[in-house]
Amino acid sequence: MQESPAVSSEDPQESSIPHAAAASRVEEEGDIAADYLEELLDIADLDGDIDIEIRSGRTYISIVNEAGAEGALADLIGRDGEGLEALQELSRLAVLSATGNRSRLVLDISGYREGRAGELKGIAEEAARKVRESGEPVSLDAMSAYERKLVHDTVSDLGLHSESEGEGTRRHIVVSSPSA
């Protein structure tokens, strides 16, 4: 809800400065990461288009196949998205090195994350069904922090409880009933 200028004693330009600075910082992160990834694609002699999108104060970068080069980027994704996660972390480090600021950018390659999000929703729904049927908690396989967030959100939307357990690469989610 916006305040009416008659009620607010704050100068509208002053209140937009922090927002504008944050937007500028996020755009800079996207540009730095995109330059880094473009260099990487050139070194690896891979063709791909890089798209940058800013949503909710977060940078989303997608590398997509150029026409006729379907599957050329699959090796970058790696087994279970491990290569994608590594490239995302390297991109974040490139931003940190250039700006001194940590980045929360999200990298996707050839729509892998979108497809994986659908899979994760199905996994969460199946776990919820099992919890409702048995009343027992259900442990899921280990997954990345980003994937765990998607599962936590889905489980919450289904009215159940979820909690991350474990450390490092073995960190996973346990789904249970709200009263457990």
pLDDT band at residue 56, thresholds of 50, 70 and 90? confident
DSSP bridge pairs for 60: 53, 106
Structure-model confidence comparison of residues 10 and 156, the more confident one: 156
Residue 57, pLDDT score: 87
Model confidence at 165: pLDDT above 70? yes
Give the residue-averaged pLDDT of 73-94: 92
Residue 17, pLDDT score: 44
Q: Are 155 and 124 in contact (CB under 8 A)?
A: yes
Computed over every residue of the chain, the mean pLDDT equals 86
Model confidence at 16: pLDDT above 50? no
Residue 147, pLDDT score: 92
Model confidence at 6: pLDDT above 60? no
Residue 69, pLDDT score: 61
Alpha-helical (H) ranges within 44-173 are: 74-77, 82-99, 112-134, 145-157
- 3-state DSSP assignment of residue 51: strand
Give the residue-averaged pLDDT of 77-94: 93
Q: How many CB atoms lie within 10 A of CB 10?
A: 10
Give the residue-averaged pLDDT of 12-32: 70
CA distance 131 to 141: 16
Least confident of 43-57, 69-83, 118-132: 69-83
CA distance 33 to 79: 23
Residue 43, pLDDT score: 94
